[in-house]
Amino acid sequence: MNFPAHALTSLWMTCVMLIYCLTLIPGCSGDFRDPTRQAERDRMVDEQIIPRGIKDQAVLAAMRRIPRHRFVPAFYSASAYNDSPLPIGHGQTISQPSLVALMTEALALQGAKKVLEVGTGSGYQAAVLAEIVPNVFTIEIVEPLATEAAQTLAELSYHNIHIRVGDGYQGWPEEAPFDAIVVTAASDHAPQPLLDQLAVGGRLILPVGKVFQEQELALYRRTKDGYERTRLTMVSFVPLIRKDQPTQPGKR
């Protein structure tokens, strides 16, 4: 079928404008040039994570391997490798990569066999842990998030991650003790059930402080005589959701 010259010109201009506009929409750029987006992950590590003092090679390697864009909604895919939190639905967000790296490094996972995560969220932190340790147990109180995370992790062939829907404050006692525990929401204290489920020498990291105010990222290490507490940095997280509390937005 033939078209008038002016019609072809108009069609061509429309296509050009459409492609230009798509590059401006989150989730519509990047994949065309490099479907694996490896270059973006390398840049994220080199420019956003290493400069913040992260040195653990296992953590850095995990951050380079895991396709973070698979853990965010398509609309935000273009921003997946920025050092910022992003919405993942259900009033929740995925934490910025540098914070994920910091919390993972602080757990000192060399030689760890079993880790517990409280707050599965998108599943990204669980994937980072699973690249380093043989077994990851993760609990999510928001069932749709747990379902979505399980699907994403299965599609990426993570077979060493075990997901449960439930109240993370209580931990996962039948699988204790854990070599490390990471909590992705703030509490005004370290939950005793989680402290009890740490192995001797194990580490627990979580934000501690008042609701919707700046909190401190605290690291607890269990010793044969009790617990040692170290303050790492200041952060801002929403409260740890309990079974008898309404769901609130959070960073996962």
**Nearest-CA neighbor of 171 among 93, 119, 227, 229?**
119
Distance CA 123, CA 145 (A): 9
Residue found by looking up tokens 């269990």 in the block? 222
Give 59's contacts (C-beta < 8 A, 6+ positions apart). Answer: 101, 104, 105, 128, 132
User: How would you label 223-252 residue by residue, b for 16+ Cβ within 10 Å and e otherwise?
Assistant: eeeeeeeeeeeebebbbbbeeeeeeeebbb
Out of 77, 84, 95, 98, the active site residue is: 95
Assess whether the previous peptide bond of 177 is cis (omega < 30° from 0): yes
Q: What is the CA radius of gyration of the chain?
A: 21
Reading the block at residue 183, the tokens are 């909590």
95 is catalytic: yes
Active site (catalytic) residues: 95
